[in-house]
Amino acid sequence: MDFDFSEIKFHGDDELDEVIQRLLDEPTIYRISRFLNNDISEEKTRELLESFGLVRDFQIDFILNIIKRLIAKNIDELSSDGADKLSHSRDSKYVFITNHRNIVMDASLLNHELHKTFGEDFESTAIAIGDNLLSIPWVKDMARLNKSFVVIRGSSVQNMLENTKKLSHYMRQLVLNKNSSVWIAQREGRTKDGNDITQQGLLKMLQMSGEKDFVKNYSELNLVPVAISYEYDPCVKDKVKELASIENTGSYIKGPLDDFNSMYNGMMGYKGRVHYSFGNLITPEVLQQIDGDIPRNEKIHGLAKIIDDFIHSNYRLWPNNFIAADMLNSKEQFVGKYDIEDKHKFDTLMSETLDDLEGDAVQNKRIFLTMFANPVKNAHKLKSEFTFDF
**Average pLDDT over every residue of 343-348:** 98
Q: Which helix (H) or strand (E) holds 171?
A: helix 157-176
- Helix axes 361-379 and 296-314, enclosed angle (nearest 10): 100
Let me know if 255 is exposed, middle or buried by CB neighbors in 10 A (0-12, 13-18, 19+). Answer: exposed
Give the strand pairing for 223-230 and 272-278: antiparallel
Radius of gyration of the chain (CA): 21
Q: Which helix (H) or strand (E) holds 225?
A: strand 223-230
CATH superfamily of 74-233+249-314: Glycerol-3-phosphate (1)-acyltransferase (3.40.1130.10)
Largest CA distance in the chain: 65
Say what the pLDDT of residue 60 is.
96
Q: Give the span between the Cα atoms of 93 and 59, in whole angstroms.
A: 18
Residue 139 in this model has a pLDDT that exceeds 80: yes
Q: Give the span between the Cα atoms of 118 and 84, in whole angstroms.
A: 8
Say what the pLDDT of residue 236 is.
97
Say what the pLDDT of residue 256 is.
86
Say what the pLDDT of residue 382 is.
83
Question: CA-CA distances (angstroms) from residue 47 to 30, 57, 68, 330?
Answer: 12, 14, 21, 60
Residue 77 dihedral angles phi and psi, to the nearest 5°? -155, 130
Task: Classify the C-alpha dihedral 268-270-272-277 as positive or negative.
Answer: negative
**CATH 3.40.1130.10-classified regions of the chain:** 74-233+249-314
Confidence bin at 388 (pLDDT 50/70/90): very high
Per the CB < 8 A criterion, the answer to whether 390 and 328 are in contact is yes
Confidence bin at 88 (pLDDT 50/70/90): confident
Q: What is the pLDDT of residues 242-276, one digit of tens each?
A: 999 999 999 999 988 899 999 999 999 999 999 99
Report the 10 Å Cβ neighbour count for 60.
16
Say what the pLDDT of residue 170 is.
98
Predicted structure pTM score? 0.96
Residue 1 in this model has a pLDDT that exceeds 80: no
Q: Which helix (H) or strand (E) holds 28?
A: helix 27-36
Q: What is the pLDDT of residues 280-338, one digit of tens each?
A: 999 999 999 999 999 999 999 999 999 999 999 999 999 999 999 999 999 999 999 99
Residue 371 in this model has a pLDDT that exceeds 90: yes
Order of strands across the sheet that contains 125-130: 75-81, 272-278, 223-230, 95-98, 181-185, 125-130, 148-151
Residue 203 in this model has a pLDDT that exceeds 80: yes
Question: CA-CA distances (angstroms) from residue 254 to 63, 67, 151, 262?
Answer: 29, 27, 19, 11
Per the CB < 8 A criterion, the answer to whether 116 and 84 are in contact is no
Share of the chain above pLDDT 90, in %: 94
Say what the pLDDT of residue 156 is.
81
3-class DSSP state for residue 97? strand
